[in-house]
Amino acid sequence: MSFSEFHLLSVLAQEMNMRKAAERLFVSQPALSQRLQSIEKDWGSKLFLRSQKGLSMTPAGEAVIRLANEVIEKEEKVRESIQAMDHEVYGTLKIACASIVGQNWLPQVLKKFVQKYPYAKISLITGWSSEILKSLYEGQVHVGIIRGAPDWKGIKQHLFTDMLYLVDTEMKELNQVFETDRPFIQFKSDSNYYQEIQDWWHRQFKTTPKNTIVVDQIETCKQMVFNGIGYAILPAITLHDKDTNVFKIPLLDGHNHSIERDTWLCGYESAFQLKQVQAFTEVVKEHIREQGMI
């Protein structure tokens, strides 16, 4: 049965009169009678009995009318939810994010997002920039948050820039690097970050570090520095005002300009047309304005 037939039966059950039901349905009484006969033929049973006083329902009719009313009620709820979607943000927001951003910046943004859009869901994966780009190319996520200078031909929105610092619990000046025997702690990265650090180091010191330790995660690197094991070069996104037990020496290039890292929001144009992605983009912009990162 079509929805219009369920509606027809429901009106008949309410009016229990062919003439009044025909008026409500904006059809002629013969046309309504013909449609009812067709429906009863489909069910293989009489649904209504006619008399001079009007209509009366058969047991089969009661069962079918009960079904019709259930369908109509469910249809109304679905319509209400669809209408609500025009005013609320639904759906799943799929994000792939560079680990360093996912640990230090994104949680604040997502907190604002879920508070503002409680009906939306979030799917988040973190990893290296190459993994983020792969997720985007394969259509596994809507947007990717990537560090450095990603080779992306779709929409690419700049989020923020943060400086690089040599961080240590003991050294206050760069030239003290020549005096310490403590190790330079490095973390693995598949972006151009590692090469940037190498290039800066050779320009600055014309030699290699006396001793190095390589770890697989930036957070491990940071904790080793904060516990006085050695020193490292870390981006500002990992450092906070409360970190008062370490010295932060800014890295400068040959022109005395700060060496910085960029963070980008990338995705296909079709993804940015989704309501949940548009909402996330607005929350990101709002957060950046509040933090003074523009």
Collapsing DSSP to helix, strand or coil, 29 comes out as helix
13 vs 47: CA distance, rounded Å: 10
Judge whether 143 and 187 are in contact, CB under 8 Å. no
Number of domains the chain is built from: 3
Q: Which of 252, 97, 255 is nearest to 163 (CA)?
A: 252
Q: What is the pLDDT of residue 227?
A: 94
Collapsing DSSP to helix, strand or coil, 66 comes out as helix
Which of 85, 101, 130 marks a domain boundary? Answer: 85
Which of 30, 59, 85 marks a domain boundary? Answer: 85
For the entire predicted model, the pTM comes to 0.69
Do residues 237 and 168 both lie within one domain?
A: yes
The CATH number covering residue 54 comes to 1.10.10.10
45: tokens are 């049973």
Do residues 174 and 245 both lie within one domain?
A: yes
| DSSP states along 87-116 | TS--SEEEEEEEHHHHHHTHHHHHHHHHHH
Do residues 269 and 125 both lie within one domain?
A: yes
121 vs 91: CA distance, rounded Å: 6
201: tokens are 């180091």
Which of 85, 120, 143 marks a domain boundary? Answer: 85
255 vs 273: CA distance, rounded Å: 42
Do residues 239 and 165 both lie within one domain?
A: yes
The pLDDT profile of the chain, 294 residues, written as one tens digit per residue, is: 677 899 999 999 999 999 999 999 999 999 999 999 999 999 999 999 999 888 999 999 999 999 999 999 898 888 867 765 666 788 899 999 999 999 999 999 999 999 999 989 999 999 988 899 999 999 999 999 999 888 899 999 999 999 999 999 999 999 999 989 999 999 887 667 778 888 899 889 888 888 999 998 888 999 999 999 999 999 999 998 777 789 999 999 888 899 999 999 999 999 999 989 999 999 999 999 998 765
142: tokens are 């809507």
Q: What is the pLDDT of residue 80?
A: 62
Do residues 151 and 283 both lie within one domain?
A: yes
| Single-letter amino acid code for the residue at 78 | V
Q: What is the pLDDT of residue 184?
A: 95
Q: What is the pLDDT of residue 3?
A: 77
Do residues 69 and 128 both lie within one domain?
A: no
The CATH number covering residue 170 comes to 3.40.190.290
Do residues 155 and 271 both lie within one domain?
A: yes
Do residues 286 and 143 both lie within one domain?
A: yes
Do residues 49 and 195 both lie within one domain?
A: no
What is the residue whose two structure tokens read 């929105």? Answer: 157
Domain that holds residue 41: 3-85
Do residues 102 and 131 both lie within one domain?
A: yes
Do residues 194 and 250 both lie within one domain?
A: yes
Q: What is the pLDDT of residue 208?
A: 85
The CATH number covering residue 154 comes to 3.40.190.10
Do residues 166 and 254 both lie within one domain?
A: yes
Q: Are strands 143-147 and 92-98 parallel, antiparallel or unpaired?
A: parallel
Burial class (CB in 10 A: 0-12, 13-18, 19+), 61: buried
Cα→Cα distances 35→6, 41, 69, 81, 251, Å: 12, 10, 18, 31, 83
